[in-house]
Amino acid sequence: MQITQHRNYFKIAFNAMASPCEILLFSDSHNLVKVVAKIAIDETKRFENKFSRYLYNNLCWQINRSEGKKVKIDLETFNLLEYANNLYQMSEKLFDITAGVLNKIWHFKKDAHPPSQSSIDELLPFIGFHQIDYAKKYFCMPKGMQVDFGGIGKEYIVDRVAQLITPICEPEEVSFLVNFGGDLVAKNFNSLHPAWHVGVENIESHRCSEKLINISQGAVATSGSTKRFFDYQGQRYAHILNPITGKPVMGAPRSVSVFAGNCSLAGGMSSLAQLQGKNAEIFLKNAEVEYLCYW
Amino acid sequence: MKSKWIFGVSIICITTFLGGCSSLGVQPWERDFLAKPGMAINSSPMDSSIDDHIYFSKEASSGGRSFAGGGCGCN
Amino acid sequence: MQLKKNLNVAEKLALATATLLGATAQAETVKDEWQFVGSILTYSEPDRVSALETIFTADKAFDDTAKLSYKIVLDSLTGASANGAIAQDDVQTFTRPSGNGQYIIQPQETPLDDTFKDTRAQFSVNWSDRLTEDSQYTIGTNLSREYDYQSIGISGELARDFDRKNTTLSIGLSYANDSVSPEGGRPLGFSSMVIDNGQFDDEQDYRNAFNATRISGDGSIDTTELLLGWTQIINRRMIMQMNYGYADVKGYLTDPFKVLSVIDSSATAKFYLYENRPESKKQHSFFALTKYHLNDSIIDFSYRYIDSDWDIKSHTLDLRWRLFAGKNSYWEPHVRYYQQSAADFYYPYFVEGTILPEFGSADYRIGEMDTYTIGLKYGFLIGDNRTEVRAEYYHQTPKSSSNEQVIITEDLNLYPSVDAFTLQFTYYFD
């Protein structure tokens, strides 16, 4: 963790959730910044320790290795499952946190090629949120299935951190920006301070770059395939997978950024838009949300 | 007699509240102020237990916020 | 059609995120670790009681929903307390409550029994957990022990949330059994205090006379209570609570250390009777609290009305105003006003030759009085730890009773006022 003081703001930087995380605070108080840093990092690590797929014996590990047995869960997990279920229903089964098993056969890197139809068919029975049986106190899913909270976790934790530091920042009129790898929330408690300039991932022709946007209040989340794709026989295969067909959604934009009141909403909308493939922009227009879309 | 009177007053208060404002309450995301520790119903439980103890030993009424009785021969 | 459907997606998702973020905002501060808070307090009434109290609480959270709380209180008390008798123009001699020895009160001084020296230890445990998504229960037990008094109690509470957790209704029940065992035994109600003025042949003769004023066994008190609560969020800045409480107290409610002077028409004390209170008390309480968050401060205002079948009615107004002063500190001024009417068996004294009522006590604390408190608290951080310092001044003004029948000169000061100072230091260990 690193705290640096800039001309009129402090920056807290650390790595978590497989992303560079930063919090900018329009403040001159080092003490406040330290308090905020502790809260933010504790909360982020707490979440990561609980829900990361890569940690031994955490909640996510227990769930994914439950082999059909019931696992005791807490309220937070239940709420996340309810939220995932909402996305599943709203997207007509396209947004599915059990789709991660497909990553066993799809490798989105340069010069890769699609897996065989038979290997896809073998995995499809292990996908489908509706196969999960869960309630407030327990979780149960058929053997062979996997869940991945990654698709909702980062936006959620950005919202949570913003929520937790608000009671500290607001009385002091300290405006802030929480930015975890491009998923961000800004809160403005002081009309004096200028808007934050932040980069959103974007691809133009063959080079990666960032587009700068101005934000002082609200949330932005981006989903896209700017780095994770391969071209095969003239077709672009990007890492947005359709859990029903087991294949990438074709013709989806390279990146979609959505502006909203909170980061979970922004992230959910951008993911749902991606899953619409070439209809993404129509979907966003019809939803009447503010967005940036790159093809 | 007196207890009827208090009951009357509290029922009037309750019905005024329920009838008067159907738009009471906030959405979950509006709980910014309410989430502060100082806005908890009993934000200083240590102070209130000390105060209850002192006033219990110096005055003839106790309770109201929480249970009134027992526990100390200090009166 | 298409447009309508997609609009619903954004709206529905907004609701889903609100639930996700709102619901967990409740549980956010609860972590699976211990939380300790310690407080130390000095209390002093000039020329009367002084006390030192330490309180230590430990909370442990489990599974995001459950909580176990321990509390330990240690009290030590020394000093003198009004015994109920009135001041005289002559020296007065009283037998100590234990029967061992005497204390002498100078002319025109309020009789204070200086025997008070006690330590008290209290221990309580509470367990609370979520029953369903919308309801929660708490159960607890409380033990308190001092030299001549002990108490054991249990309590339970059930609370349920309604309307996005904006409304909470609760019901609580508690039961306590106290036992009173004063050194030297409990005095017989309205028996006359035996004072050794040399009229006894020997110690045994005095003891026999003293013991004749005692009743055998310990006194026992059973307290049963009901508490109904309603907490309501009004808007983003305001929350209210209303409680109704009923308490039924049965048993030995007399104070074994208090007496009444029996005076003649010239206000001269002839002898002293031990007080005698009813064996039952029923009390109704009504409590309303509002908290309001202004831009840089929080107002906490409460009103309490209590009525009992002893005829004691009281009104309490309490105002605390937390003014934030910078990042982690605040000032909190506090004022409290309390007023009570007298118990129907409160008599500042009895008059010789009149018929005794069924019950009587001269304890000024059940007489009519006004009290006020002014205080100031400062909250700040030591390192990363919350710390509070609080100072309070408390003043009691007892009022004259309608049960007065004899003119008492002012220099005897029948209703002396009482002052008390408290200083408290609280530290939240992280």
For A57-68, write each residue's pLDDT tens digit.
Answer: 788 888 888 888
Partner-chain contact A136 C133, CB within 8 Å: yes
Residues C210-256: pLDDT tens digits? Answer: 999 999 899 999 999 999 999 999 988 899 999 999 999 999 999 99
Does A122 contact C at CB distance below 8 Å?
no
The secondary structure of C35-99 as a DSSP string is EEEEEEEEEE-TTS-EEEEEEEEEEEEETTTEEEEEEEEEEEEEEEEE-SPPP-SS-EEEE-TTS
Tokens standing for A42?
């504790």
Q: Residue C363 corresponds to which amino acid?
A: D
Tokens standing for C272?
């002293």
pLDDT (0 to 100) of residue B71: 64
Partner-chain contact B32 A262, CB within 8 Å: no
Give the mean pLDDT of A267-293.
89
Among the partner residues C237, C242, C365, nearest to B13 by beta-carbon distance? C242
Q: What are the beta bridge partners of residue C392? A: C375, C422
pLDDT (0 to 100) of residue A1: 85
Partner-chain contact C394 B58, CB within 8 Å: yes
More confident residue, A105 or C303: C303
Alpha carbon distance C366, C345 (integer Å): 9
Residues A175-231: pLDDT tens digits? Answer: 999 999 889 999 888 766 677 887 766 544 344 456 677 787 889 998 876 667 788
pLDDT (0 to 100) of residue C248: 96
Partner-chain contact A163 C326, CB within 8 Å: no
Among the partner residues C27, C296, C384, nearest to A75 by beta-carbon distance? C27
- Shortest distance, CA A15 to any CA of chain B (angstroms): 27
Partner-chain contact C13 A272, CB within 8 Å: yes
Q: How many CB pairs under 8 A join A and C?
A: 94
Helix, strand, coil content of chain A in percent (nearest 5):
35, 30, 35
> Across A90-104, A136-150, C54-68, C87-101, which has the greatest mean pLDDT?
C87-101
Give the mean pLDDT of C54-80.
90
| Residue C188 confidence class, pLDDT cut points 50, 70, 90 | very high
Taken in order of first residue, the domains within chain A and their CATH numbers are 2-294 (3.10.520.10)
Residues 6+ apart with CB under 8 A from C398: C364, C367, C368, C369, C415, C416, C417
pLDDT (0 to 100) of residue B8: 57
pLDDT higher than 50, residue C2: no
Among the partner residues C37, C221, C235, nearest to B46 by beta-carbon distance? C37
In angstroms, what CA-CA distances link A96 with A242, A254, A268, C373? 9, 20, 12, 61
Best probe of the C interface among B4, B34, B48, B55, by most C CBs < 10 A, is B34
- Shortest distance, CA C141 to any CA of chain A (angstroms): 27
Listed in order, strand segments (DSSP E) in C343-417 are: 350-351, 369-382, 385-398
- Shortest distance, CA A265 to any CA of chain B (angstroms): 13
pLDDT (0 to 100) of residue A209: 52
pLDDT (0 to 100) of residue C24: 44
Residues C245-257: pLDDT tens digits? Answer: 999 999 999 999 9
Best probe of the C interface among A286, A288, A290, A291, by most C CBs < 10 A, is A286
- Shortest distance, CA A233 to any CA of chain C (angstroms): 34
Partner-chain contact A167 B36, CB within 8 Å: yes
- Shortest distance, CA A218 to any CA of chain C (angstroms): 13
Chains touching A, CB cut-off 8 Å, 3+ pairs: B, C
Partner-chain contact C9 A82, CB within 8 Å: no
Does A80 contact C at CB distance below 8 Å?
yes
Give the mean pLDDT of C119-145.
93
Partner-chain contact C232 B17, CB within 8 Å: yes
| Residue A96 confidence class, pLDDT cut points 50, 70, 90 | very high
Residues C307-346: pLDDT tens digits? Answer: 999 999 999 999 999 999 977 899 999 999 999 999 999 9
Among the partner residues B13, B26, B66, nearest to C233 by beta-carbon distance? B26
> Across A129-138, A165-174, C10-19, C373-382, which has the greatest mean pLDDT?
C373-382
Among the partner residues A167, A261, A262, nearest to B35 by beta-carbon distance? A167
Residues C140-182: pLDDT tens digits? Answer: 999 999 989 999 999 999 999 988 788 999 999 999 999 999 9
The H-assigned helical ranges of C163-300 are: 203-211
Q: Which helix (H) or strand (E) element contains residue C135?
A: strand C135-146
Residues B50-68: pLDDT tens digits? Answer: 999 999 999 999 999 998 8
Give the mean pLDDT of A28-34.
88
Among the partner residues A38, A159, A272, nearest to C21 by beta-carbon distance? A159
| 3-class state of residue C131 by DSSP | strand
Query: The tokens 């009229």 sit on which residue?
Result: C199
pLDDT (0 to 100) of residue A55: 74
| A78: closest chain C residue by CA | C20
Q: What are the beta bridge partners of residue A220? A: A184, A259
| B38: closest chain A residue by CA | A167
Among the partner residues C223, C289, C343, nearest to B70 by beta-carbon distance? C223
| Residue C1 confidence class, pLDDT cut points 50, 70, 90 | very low
Q: Nearest CA to C116 among A78, A202, B74, B57?
A: B74
Q: Which helix (H) or strand (E) element contains residue A187?
A: strand A183-187
Query: What secondary structure letter does DSSP report for C104?
Result: E
Per-chain mean pLDDT for chain A: 85
Please indicate, yes or no, whether the overall pTM of this predicted structure exceeds 0.80: no
| Residue C23 confidence class, pLDDT cut points 50, 70, 90 | low
Best probe of the B interface among A75, A160, A166, A172, by most B CBs < 10 A, is A166
pLDDT (0 to 100) of residue C28: 42
The tens-digit pLDDT sequence of chain B (75 residues) is: 455 555 555 555 555 555 444 578 875 545 667 877 889 999 999 999 999 999 999 999 999 999 887 666 665
Give the mean pLDDT of A149-170.
91
In angstroms, what CA-CA distances link C83 with A59, C114, C362, C373, C393? 64, 9, 8, 24, 23
Partner-chain contact A90 C384, CB within 8 Å: no
pLDDT (0 to 100) of residue C383: 86
Q: Which residues of A touch C10 (CB under 8 A)?
A: 265, 269, 287-289
| 3-class state of residue C296 by DSSP | coil
Q: What are the beta bridge partners of residue A27? A: none
| B34: closest chain A residue by CA | A167
Partner-chain contact A289 C10, CB within 8 Å: yes
Partner-chain contact C230 B68, CB within 8 Å: no
pLDDT (0 to 100) of residue B30: 58
pLDDT higher than 60, residue C41: yes
The secondary structure of B19-34 as a DSSP string is HH-TT-S--GGG-TTT
More confident residue, C128 or A250: C128
CB of A106 closer than 8 Å to CB of A124: no
Residues C101-121: pLDDT tens digits? Answer: 999 999 999 999 987 778 999
